[in-house]
Structure 1
Amino acid sequence: MPLMKSWVTSANDAAHPFPLNNLPYGVFSTAGTEERCGVAIGDMILDLYAAEEAGLVAVSDSPVFDVPYWNDFMDLGSEAWKALRARLIEILAEGSADRAAAEACLVPMAEATLHMPVAVSEYTDFYAGRHHAFNVGTMFRGPENALPPNWLHIPIGYNGRASSVYVSGTEVRRPWGQLKGPNDEMPRWAPSARFDIELEMGAIVGTASDRPITVQEADDNIFGYVLLNDWSARDIQAWEYQPLGPFQAKATATSISPWIVTKAALEPFRCDTPEREFELLDHIKDCGPMLYDIDLEVTLAPEGKPATTIARTNYNEMYYSAAQQLAHHSTAGSPMNVGDLLGSGTISGPEKQNRGSLLELSWGGKEPLTLDTGEARSFIADGDTLTLIGNARGDGFTIGFGDCVGTLLPALEDPYAR
């Protein structure tokens, strides 16, 4: 599919992340407006509440886009999703008869503040990238026991905290926790010294289910995707995770990019999951291309200094797709809700420069990486800004997500000090 031309000229730049081919959904406000739904097109935002008021779009008998989340629209179902995208393309395409009316609903992105695009119902994080799982397992158990026995048969996950999912740009505070080093007799209470990121994609559930669903049904139920950074306190996790897995180590924050890129926009970039070492059971078998060819990048910028690209990889490195994760999530009868968020797990590739976490990049702190500034990092330092970038590149166009950014603030004074 080539670039679709828009009368919003900035959207026709091959390198711009928001062409007419994309049309990602977000929530924004300006100095004169409250939070409401919008669509990114070039360097502008189409105010969907204003467009709805003007009669440019109509997806329901009552207003849908006057609220600060996309959940109400998602709940209308896939036919409404298709109809809105088709109407937006009609409105914003070069030569559109609706240009004059739509221009009145445009807001410069530079004048807008972006907010959480979805009210997250529940959040589940997976451990579904083979390179990441092998690297981490090798560090702690050796290469011969790197992958748990179940790993090649099911997508492993845990239920996280929806209450600490934040939009890009939200600052993150270094957490306190219970720590115990390998040579310590007893645990101690201290700020995390091994704070980290995890480069992930997040899938947003747009259709509820109350029974086990197939992989194809799961794929149909996914509304769209965001970049996701699951901030991780590795030293807290090392002490707490046996036998039930992460708890406080992952509770501080999870950051997502501000724009939801729909499955329709990503269709040209579908690709297959890797060849299977063992045949999967029927309920999570591949039923077609379920991954996407999306280039991913991580940069780290010390406070007041330029950024260094520390990792590059691709979403196609995942072992399990979001559809397989969602299908497996439903197997025990757990209802899935509109607005549920599924984290893919850390996305790493086969080479050192493809590793999606500092834990891997520094090999547990034993091999610190050197930034372009000359500084060394094993884990995140106070004041560091981490940025996740994702782009799918087509024929003369780019599908972008908007950066997923977070800055680490120093730990506060001991919250339990008396």
Structure 2
Amino acid sequence: MIDVKTAFILWVAQAGALAVLLLGIWLQARKEKHFLYFGIGFALHASGLALVALRGLIPDALSIHLGNPVSLLAFAAWTAAVGAIDKKRVPFFALTPPLVWIAANLIPAIRDDFAFRVATYNVAAGLGFAALSFAALTVRFSTVRYRALLASIWLAQSVCAFLFAAAAGFFGADDFSNPPATIWAGLAAVVGFIASLVILAKMLMDRSEERLKLLARTDSLTGVLNRRGFSAAFDALTSTTTSPLIAVVLFDLDHFKHLNDRHGHAAGDAALVEFAYLCGALLPETAAFGRTGGEEFAAVLTIGEPRDAALFAETVRLAIAERKIRVGDQEIQITTSVGIAVGPREMSALDGLMSRADEALYAAKKQGRNRTSLKAGDRIVTVPPTKTRTLDAEADKQVAILRRIAAAGAAFDD
């Protein structure tokens, strides 16, 4: 049978190998901080237990009073790693395990007794596993099932650690050659270690797969949906809404080529990003928004009447026209032309609505750009442009928009 020190060495080798692997992964993906923290955790655990395994060959100050708290510090790194997957901060209780060890060893009766030190280490480890279990329950990545399963494994390891602490304190031990329940403690640690690694790996794989799917339907520059993602969002929205009408609103930034030629592509990119941000901020809750072309964006809205779509479009159009976009040491302003198509929810297809909205958009451009047109039946109605006076109050803007929509004619009520 393998003696305890040999088991320590094997465990140290395994933890060290994992540390190297995880840190290597992090070097290839530096934004994935959880790999860094997991790697640091295993490095600390391996280093601390290596010092513990060398007891008798190196001074006790290194083996006992440095090795144990260093290995327990790994729990803080692991807890930070779990939170980092969801961009959470390290919880204050993550440092509890090494602090418990240090505080307990200030008491001579514990510091000078091997059995009490083993019990203290297990109590600290139990608290560390409890912290990991709590962290697993508070994150939001992967599924509830996997998070609960991972938390359960770490909670079981916490309970085992407390039981081993009680056994060590009750039965006593003189050294590593005869600690109580050593075999069972090692077996529980190995089983829990392997099980938690397998589940974590599955959770991270699922997360990576979901992120790849998100990237496949997201525009890399603006962060909004791309055409593929917008199409999927349209299908999802029309299949779940109870609103009677669906509207597609097309936005095309005016004179975008001229903007790029005059101010450079950095200015053009800044304009696209700013417009996407603004539309996202003004978008109703039951709606979707995406970039469907170079300088073309689209929104799909669930509405009760056509004027709802026109109100949204005009609000965006006026807001972007008044916005100053800073690019380096210069400020630029842009405008947008808008085309709207509305149809019954049950009979609406994206391609048909996009085609009709494009006709309305063409009409808005033909009439001078920086305005909104709506395709209703065979007619295209354009909202009159704003008057020259400035509207200071947001309420005044909304009233003015509604008045101009009403002035556009009965087509908005068809």
TM range (shorter): under 0.3
Is the radius of gyration larger for structure 1 or structure 2? Answer: 2
Structure ranking higher on relative contact order (CA contacts 8 Å, 6+ apart):
1
Greater fraction helix: 2
**TM norm structure 2:** 0.22
* TM-score where L is the length of structure 1: 0.22
